[in-house]
Chain A
Amino acid sequence: MDMEVFDSDFKVPGKEKKKSYEVDAESLSQAQVERLMSVDVDHIRGIFGVDAPVASLLLRYMNWNKERLIEKYMDDPTAINVDAGISAADEEPKVSRAASTTGPTRTTRSGKLSKVKSPSPKRDEPFVCPICFDDTQTETLALSCTHTFCASCWNAYVTGKIREEGEHWIRCMAEGCSLVAPDPFIQQALGDDTATWSRFQELLVRHFVSCNKNLKFCPYPNCTYTVSCPAAATKSSLSTIVPTVTCGAGPDHKFCFGCSVESDHRPVVCAVASMWLKKCHDDSETANWIKSNTKECTKCQSTIEKNGGCNHMTCKKCKHEFCWVCMGPWTEHGTAWYSCNRYDEKASQDARDSQSKSRASLERYLHYYNRWANHEQSAKLSMDLYKKTEQKMEEMQITSELTWIEVQFMKKAVDEVFKCRMTLKWTYAMAYYLERGNPKELFEDNQRDLEKAVEDLSELLEQAIEPAEIATLRQKVTDKTVYVQKRNEIMLEDTANGFLEGRWTWNATVEGFE
């Protein structure tokens, strides 16, 4: 517990003033989420007068929607108790074949769990578990439906459900019985298997988090932290902010609260980012192939692939005859097979013009796509750059007076370049969809300035190191890093402000912007 308190202190740093491209978010540990859950459970317990495990089952059944639960419960408490697996469908406990020899049983009052019994009531014959048929088992368990099985079968069953299936909604083992095991029963069935019990607790927390729009689980593998970001809980909020959040457990624990497209797709909003990715996924390869392998018929604009034969083309569709090389009509070639020397003829020039018009939209897309992909690729290569930089940093220590701390400027520069390339990458996705006009021009000015600064800095980092020039290099890199940082800030800030002001208009229909 102490650790946890320390952790949460550590995780919420006193933030200075918030930038417009940042959102308010809070990181919660598992214990903190459990506390939120118990507040809800206590609330329901107080209203309905049931005990905590029952309240928990009811809430879980209703996906933690308290209002709906209260409404339904007021309407028909019996029905919801049956649906939530708390009591059996008919009030008279039926004698099932699984517990056929059981004597008088207590009647099941809805909303009240009968205590788990162990061992089972005295009987004349030894109890034979209907699952394992082991008659040496002395310990048995049953839910209030009195379907009795031995403790080790229950243990295996509950363990399997939790471990293999990741299930927190564990029904009675009897066929067709819809009673659900409440928490104390599960704890008892698991015995001293605390690992599975804590896995169960985690499943409950995950379920609670998935039901709550304000909460999201940190997607980092094995991370147990939850981020609360009420600002991004509604769909409409996602058209004005880009909720990049972190649970604070590490530099990689960063994710987008609004979508799962990419952990940080600032400055562009979720809807545009996912539209772009979908387009690239569908189109980029095809578009590239079309660009390099086909031409359009100059008359009907059908896309044609030339897969062999001579340059005398006849369009399959409109029967237009033209030359593959100069794109001019074939009639002007006469009999000049294979040798096209008429590149500058007026007719062929016109044909190429119309060709290039139809290529324009493809070209436009590829322009953005190639830049987008280039920044992604460069960012990916930053791992190599890291290694190279580290080498350089060592080199510098040897060849100059600088200490390890003093050569950190290189590493910092690499970090900054990586960050900015991610920003740049997404600015291309955004620019592709931006409607032409002044706002777009300003956007692209910012983009250009950032790109230029990043490329300059990148170049500096790649340079070979002359011992005599280390001092100047250091000065240059440090200055450039600060400048790049500044440009990135401007890019992010201005775009975020644009979203808040509703300044951006799109050349396509974007979800949430109608």
Chain B
Amino acid sequence: MAGIASRRLAKELKEIHTQGCPVGIQLLSADNFEEWHLSLEVMGDSQYQGEVFALKFRFEPQYPISAPAVQFMVTDKYKSPVHPHVYSNGHICASILGTEWSPVLSVIGVCVTLQSMLASCKKKERPPDNDRYVRHAPDNPKQTRFHYHDDTV
């Protein structure tokens, strides 16, 4: 069983290098098979015009059987997008990162899903429980049991 995560990630990396990323998505760093960074931009007409975000992926050895830990990076350069499913610390409440995760999904697949989640946003606001959540949030969003809110946004 050893090496399933690295073999799979190597393959995903190879595909990114040969086929390139979908438009708006760029690989920032993938120096190892534990943590990758990608940048994300919503193309076309949207609430997030001109904003660039960065995603941090953390992989366990059981990836892709277990979902990666995905969050928006909050640094000097990058901010967490203001979105009803994204907390100000970058944690994301999205079912595909939790119960709906499928091992068939990939890093790029997750990026594309999050890109469209941002693209379809009509009103920029934080989740209603943002303050309370951020105060006690664990470092790794996978330790949070999200209640997935409505999927309409």
Contacts and interface: CB of A to CB of B under 8 A. Distances in A.
Interface of A: 98, 130-134, 149, 152-153, 156-157, 160, 164, 173-177
Interface stretch (B24-32, B75-83, B99-107, B120-128): B99-107
21 contacts: A98-B104, A130-B104, A131-B65, A132-B4, A132-B8, A133-B8, A134-B7, A149-B103, A152-B4, A153-B65, A153-B103, A156-B1, A156-B4, A156-B65, A157-B65, A160-B65, A173-B102, A173-B103, A173-B104, A175-B104, A177-B102
Contacts of A174: 102, 104
Contacts of B104: 98, 130-131, 173-175
B69 to A, nearest CB: 15
Given A153-B65, A160-B65, A131 B103 contact: yes
Contacts of A130: 104
A153 B7 CA distance: 12
A193 to B, nearest CB: 12
Contacts of B62: 156, 160
B66 interface: yes
A75 to B, nearest CB: 29
Contacts, number: 42
B149 interface: no
Interface residues of B, number: 13
Contacts of A160: 62, 65-66
A175 B11 contact: no
A153 B1 CA distance: 9
A135 to B, nearest CB: 10
B91 to A, nearest CB: 21
Given A132-B4, A152-B1, A156-B1, A175 B105 contact: yes
A175 B66 CA distance: 13
B64 interface: yes
B66 A132 contact: no
Contact of B103 (A134, A157, A164, A176): A157
Enumerate the 7 nearest inter-chain pairs by beta-carbon distance, A residue then B residue, closest first: A175-B102, A133-B11, A131-B103, A156-B65, A175-B104, A173-B103, A157-B65
Contacts of B65: 131, 153, 156-157, 160
B103 to A, nearest CB: 5
A98 B102 CA distance: 12
A479 B54 CA distance: 80
A96 to B, nearest CB: 9
A153 B102 CA distance: 12
Nearest to B101: A175
Contact of B102 (A134, A152, A156, A176): A176
A177 B11 CA distance: 24
Contacts of B1: 152, 156
Contact of B4 (A98, A153, A175): A153
Contacts of B105: 175
Name, among B4, B62, B102, the residue most crowded by chain A CB atoms within 10 Å (CB to CB): B102
A507 to B, nearest CB: 39
A131 B7 contact: no
A160 B66 CA distance: 8
Given A133-B7, A175-B105, 6 more contacts: A131-B64, A134-B4, A156-B62, A173-B103, A174-B104, A177-B102
Interface in B37-71: 62, 64-66
B117 to A, nearest CB: 16
A175 B102 CA distance: 5
A152 B64 CA distance: 12
Nearest to A175: B102
A98 B1 CA distance: 21
A176 B8 CA distance: 21
B95 to A, nearest CB: 12
Interface in B84-107: 102-105
A177 B103 CA distance: 12
Contacts of A164: 66
Nearest to A152: B1
Name, among A133, A134, A149, A156, the residue most crowded by chain B CB atoms within 10 Å (CB to CB): A133
A106 B102 CA distance: 25
A167 to B, nearest CB: 10
B93 to A, nearest CB: 19
Nearest to B5: A132
Contacts of A132: 4, 7-8, 64
A131 B104 CA distance: 6
A175 B97 CA distance: 12
A132 B63 CA distance: 9
Contacts of A152: 1, 4
B65 to A, nearest CB: 5
B64 to A, nearest CB: 6
B138 to A, nearest CB: 17
Contacts of A133: 7-8, 11
A127 to B, nearest CB: 15
Nearest to A159: B65
Contacts of B8: 131-133
A153 B104 CA distance: 11
A156 B66 CA distance: 9
A493 to B, nearest CB: 47
A270 to B, nearest CB: 29
Interface string B1-38: 10010011001000000000000000000000000000
Contacts of A156: 1, 4, 62, 65
B99 to A, nearest CB: 9
A47 B11 CA distance: 49
Contacts of A98: 104
